[in-house]
Chains A and B, each alone.
Chain A
Amino acid sequence: MIEYKLLLFRQGRLKRMFNNESVIRGMKSVAPLILGIVPFAMISGITAANTGLSLWMALFMSVGIFAGASQLAVLQLVSDNAHMLVIIYTALIINLRMMIYSLSIAPHLQGIKTGLKALLAYSMTDQSYAISTVHFLNNPEEDTKSFLLGASVILWIVWQMNTIIGYLMGSIIPPELGLDFGIPLTFIAILFKGVAGWSGIVAIITSGAVAVAGAGLPMNIGLVLAAVFGIAAGTLSEVYLTRGGDRES
């Protein structure tokens, strides 16, 4: 009976709502990044265990926040006995970039139910966002909600599973493995995916320079400044290059 209902559900509502091929394309597009995400998710589990969180609390955190860098910052501050408001403030500043992602991907996610928008928003990560927007620009016919869902869901599952594995195996894994390096590597892998010609390079160099120069600024403000300067430099250089007759894609 249950199987029958599931079958009805799958063939009826879900099939009408999502395009299977797009979901699978989304999954495939982020699959190579799993290699970099697994070690980072394990670190997050290991750190939660070392900070003294129960497994349930660690899972509550990784499901409830689902943004790795901010989760690690929270754990660090908890073990430093920081004030609750400082922890909340720091984590939210780290995640502020998600608002730019939201603005950037919004045009591709219109004409769908608010509940589905909420699900897609909740599960969106740096990686699924970046891969998807670049893919949408190059493939205007794509079923965007299905593609993004596929990309996000697979990373969500990998993240939660490996957080648990990291938590349970924490004591076996030596910290000098430097597993945190996996995440910058996933960013490097997708960095050039959507670069719009030379102006994309201008954005990358400007933003990277500002981020490094501003790294000492309090509360991750350097990251936000770098993004703003990088986006501005890229846009301005594109305007300039186009005017000069040097046409860009």
Chain B
Amino acid sequence: MNNLQLILTILIIGLGTFAFRFSFIFLYGKMKLPQWVHRAMRFVPPAVLSALIFPAILIRDEALWISYENPRLIAGMVAIAIAWKTKNLLLTIATGLGIFWLIIFV
């Protein structure tokens, strides 16, 4: 891929991604949404975040890896417990990274 093709690729992805982000923020006033859509939208953050989290800690090299030897799984589960109990962002991330590196290097 030459530089020009790469610039074009980035440009198209950038514009497309912006269009996704902008779509409903822009269109909202121009259409009427039913009440159940508003109700459902409150579940977007937990649903999407969960869909990003679990594959990231459970899947390695395209295979399910459920084992105490999986450092992402162990550190991730501890982080989930801390997030659930304390709701403290910094503590969750710091402990998660700490345990992850501890398992990898020790």
Binding site for B on A (CB under 8 A): 32-33, 35-36, 39, 53, 57, 60-61, 64-67, 70, 74, 78, 81, 84, 87-88, 91-92, 95-107, 109-110, 114, 117-118, 120-122, 124, 126, 129-130, 133-134, 137, 176-178, 181-196, 199-200, 203-212, 215-216, 222-223, 226-227, 229-232, 234-235, 238
Contacts and interface: CB of A to CB of B under 8 A. Distances in A.
Contacts of B11: 64
B12 A117 contact: no
Given A84-B5, A190-B45, 12 more contacts: A65-B10, A70-B17, A88-B16, A95-B16, A99-B20, A185-B92, A189-B93, A204-B50, A207-B50, A215-B59, A226-B47, A226-B51
B28 A100 contact: no
Interface residues on B, range: 35 or more
A107 B88 CA distance: 28
B45 A193 contact: yes
Contacts of B5: 84
Interface of chain B: mostly helix, strand, loop or mixed:
helix
18 contacts: A32-B89, A35-B90, A36-B97, A39-B97, A57-B7, A64-B11, A99-B24, A100-B44, A103-B24, A106-B27, A121-B18, A129-B45, A133-B45, A188-B83, A193-B87, A200-B43, A203-B47, A207-B51
